[in-house]
Amino acid sequence: MLCPILMRRACHYVVNLRYFEMCILLVIAASSIALAAEDPVATSSDWNKIGVTSKDGLILHDGSYFRDLWNILDFIVVVGALVAFALTNNKGRDIKTIKSLRVLRVLRPLKTIKRLPKLKAVFDCVVTSLKNVFNILIVYKLFMFIFAVIAVQLFKGKFFYCTDSSKDTEKDCQGYYIDYGKDKKEVKKRDWKRHEFHYDNVIWALLTLFTVSTGEGWPQVLQHSVDVTEEDRGPSHGNRMEMSIFYVIYFVVFPFFFVNIFVALIIITFQEQGDKMMEECSLEKNERACIDFAISAKPLTRYMPQNRHTFQYRLWHFVVSPSFEYTVLTMIALNTIVLMMKYYSAPPAYDAFLKHLNTAFTVLFSIECVLKILAFGFLNYFRDTWNIFDFITVLGSITEIVVDLQVISLCLIV
């Protein structure tokens, strides 16, 4: 009798936990999504295989691979490199797809975050604040929807106009008229049109309000709003000046109020991240500042060769020196500038020059990778996640160069 009673008490405790119902709802939602994604006809389809694979704990388990943002970034780089390499065996038929994978090299500037801890703290702050930003975005969209509904009631059907300003209705906007320009007069056909941004339905109202909130082109929308008369009638200059109050209120609520909320959220999250790092320590603020200064002034070394008279130690001393780090940072900055120099319809010689620069940077980053492997050792090098990221980035760059060479060879053969 004792075992059933204990079992019932344990079950009662579990089902009355605070988050038990939420967990059950999440499991049901995940199961529903998995069922919707399955192919009921082809049971061996790729979607069904993905559904089976997703049950192996890549995301749900503690410490799983995809719970780390940098692992996700590394995964994208690796998959992109493997796809590019796989498509090279397609005899040139997917050359456009291969070229699109070159965008992965823009991940190189992220190497800077690893070498500057303050940038990494800012990046972590932005990622952490995304959860709260999502809640604010919901409120933001709710308020925008309210303003969109109000705008539809105020301005629906009132943003029409005739190319001949002397005509007010579509019925009268017929035939031709003489347009007296500065130097000549021209006969034109009358057309009944509607302004590009209007409030005839909620969807277009949301788009127009979003355009107004960006601060670009909103004076024209404001001018059209104060010139409205009636539905399906042309505008009259300054006919409804009171309509400008709608935009004054909108600007106070959105560009001013909500933008300040986003900024305040980022600042608060940054402060909380800083306090969280020392929450388990009972030190005062000044004592924490002293510790931070000491850590920044003399950072800890993860690996150092034991024998100082070997070539490996001298090489290690070189790769961990500030001059080497500053040189790598300079190369990253220059590589970023080279990436910014690419533009559409550039001359072939200019594109070839940028391609040669990209090859040169790939060689330099490859040399950096080889030097660090020799200095730290193969196993010690790959114990650092950032070193793995650097290695994958270099490998992807080399793959890109190989793909370019094969594409050129195929073109020459054809």
Least confident of 172-181, 200-209, 221-230: 172-181
d(Cα 350, Cα 130) in Å, to the nearest integer? 40
Token pair for 399: 């793959």
Q: What is the pLDDT of residue 35?
A: 47
SS3 assignment for 156-181: CCCCEEECCCCCCCCCCCCCEEEEEC
| Inside any domain, residue 62 | no
| Inside any domain, residue 7 | no
Averaged pLDDT for residues 143-167: 88
| Inside any domain, residue 67 | no
| Inside any domain, residue 385 | yes
CA distances from 186 to 170, 179, 183, 192, 242 (A): 22, 5, 10, 18, 37
| Three-point CA angle 173, 179, 183, nearest 5° | 170
Who's near 304: CB < 8 A, 6+ residues apart?
313, 316
Averaged pLDDT for residues 119-138: 76
| Inside any domain, residue 206 | no
Answer yes or no: is pLDDT of 21 > 80.
no
Contacts within 8 Å (CB) and 24+ apart, 266-273: 266/125, 266/126, 266/129, 269/125, 269/128, 269/129, 269/132, 270/121, 270/122, 270/125, 273/121, 273/124, 273/125, 273/128
The percentage of residues in the chain with a pLDDT greater than 90, rounded to a whole number, is 5
d(Cα 161, Cα 145) in Å, to the nearest integer? 26
| Inside any domain, residue 257 | no
Averaged pLDDT for residues 17-30: 59
CATH number of the domain that residue 385 is part of:
1.20.120
Summarised one tens digit per residue, pLDDT across range 156-198 is 888 888 888 888 888 888 888 887 766 777 888 888 888 888 8
Least confident of 10-14, 90-94, 289-293, 363-367: 90-94
Task: List helix spans (H) across 59-169.
Answer: 69-87, 95-100, 111-115, 117-155
- End-to-end CA separation in angstroms for the chain: 84
Q: How many domains does the chain fold into?
A: 1
CA distances from 269 to 69, 132, 257, 284, 292 (A): 18, 9, 18, 20, 19
Q: At what angle do helices 218-226 and 244-251 cross, to 10 degrees?
A: 150
Higher pLDDT, 209 or 79: 209
8 A C-beta contact, residue 228 and residue 239: yes
Considering only CA atoms, which of 309, 308, 312, 291 is closest in space to residue 300?
291
| Inside any domain, residue 227 | no
Answer yes or no: is pLDDT of 216 > 50.
yes
Token pair for 408: 């050129």
Question: Domain limits at 314?
Answer: 80-111+310-413
| Inside any domain, residue 391 | yes
Q: CA quadruple 201, 204, 209, 212: dihedral positive or negative?
A: negative
Q: List residues bridging with 329 in a β-sheet.
A: none
8 A C-beta contact, residue 162 and residue 173: yes
pTM of the model: 0.46
